[in-house]
Amino acid sequence: MKTSHLAWLTSVIVLIPILGWPLTGAAQTIQYVTVTGATGSGNNLSVQTNQIVSVVGYDWVAVPTIYGQFQNGTTIYMTPYNSGPSGSISGSQIPQIFTGLTNISVNARSAGILGAATFQITTPAGATVISNYVPADAIVIPASATGNVQIILESSPDLVNWTAASPGTYGASARTNRFFRVRAAVN
């Protein structure tokens, strides 16, 4: 089984806060989200006012409308084009960058067609964001769980054979890779 550098880096980023290792600095987080919407039933994306929202992808076939809402209730039109004479579309304005939004809505313009737009959501370093997003490889102990749950750190040279490991400092080895995982076991 081959592990990509990104998967390894994601695991390390998840492990450091879980294990309580000291951090020398904080980094901003970037997340890409695609929102689709149909006519009359657009979908919403909730964001925090301290997040930076960029429109980075747009469905130029369905041409959906995109609206952003600020905390004070003001709504803006975020669709990334200019309407030319007789309704023609001219000029892409991607990326568009917004701050201070609390909600984004994507709605299709034509019946029966699903429109889509992709957003880059950047959370500045040190910002606290309340979100229901949980990374796919995160260990979560549900609030409804009963009994004790043991959190186990393990190490492997080949992603097949795993042994218990302890939090701490590990030296680099030219002979083999060293992979780490965290798992939960019910006692």
Residue 94 shares a structural domain with residue 160: no
Mind listing the pLDDT tens digit for each residue in 167-182? 888 887 767 778 888 8
Whether 93 is covered by a domain: the verdict is yes
Residue 18 shares a structural domain with residue 37: no
Query: Biggest alpha carbon distance in the chain?
Result: 69
Whether 54 is covered by a domain: the verdict is yes
What's the domain count of the chain? Answer: 2
Residue 65 shares a structural domain with residue 111: yes
Whether 79 is covered by a domain: the verdict is yes
Residue 40 shares a structural domain with residue 55: yes
Residue 68 shares a structural domain with residue 146: no
CB-based contacts of 55: which residues, under 8 Å, 6+ apart?
66, 78, 80, 94, 95, 96, 117, 118, 119
Give the CATH number, domain containing residue 63: 2.60.120
The closest alpha carbon to 168, from 18, 8, 21, belongs to: 21
- Is residue 35 very low, low, confident or very high in pLDDT (cuts 50, 70, 90)? confident
The closest alpha carbon to 99, from 50, 134, 133, belongs to: 50
Whether 129 is covered by a domain: the verdict is no
pLDDT > 60? residue 134: no
Residue 65 shares a structural domain with residue 114: yes
- Reduced to 3 states (helix: H, G, I; strand: E, B; else coil), residue 53 is strand
pLDDT > 80? residue 22: no
The closest alpha carbon to 74, from 111, 101, 54, belongs to: 101
Give the pTM.
0.51
Residue 36 shares a structural domain with residue 117: yes
Residue 104 shares a structural domain with residue 156: no
Domain of residue 42, residue span:
29-123
Residue 14 shares a structural domain with residue 69: no
Mind listing the pLDDT tens digit for each residue in 55-108? 988 888 888 888 899 888 889 888 887 666 666 666 667 778 888 898 998 888
Q: What is the pLDDT of residue 119?
A: 92
Portion of the chain with pLDDT greater than 70, in percent: 71
- Is residue 24 very low, low, confident or very high in pLDDT (cuts 50, 70, 90)? very low
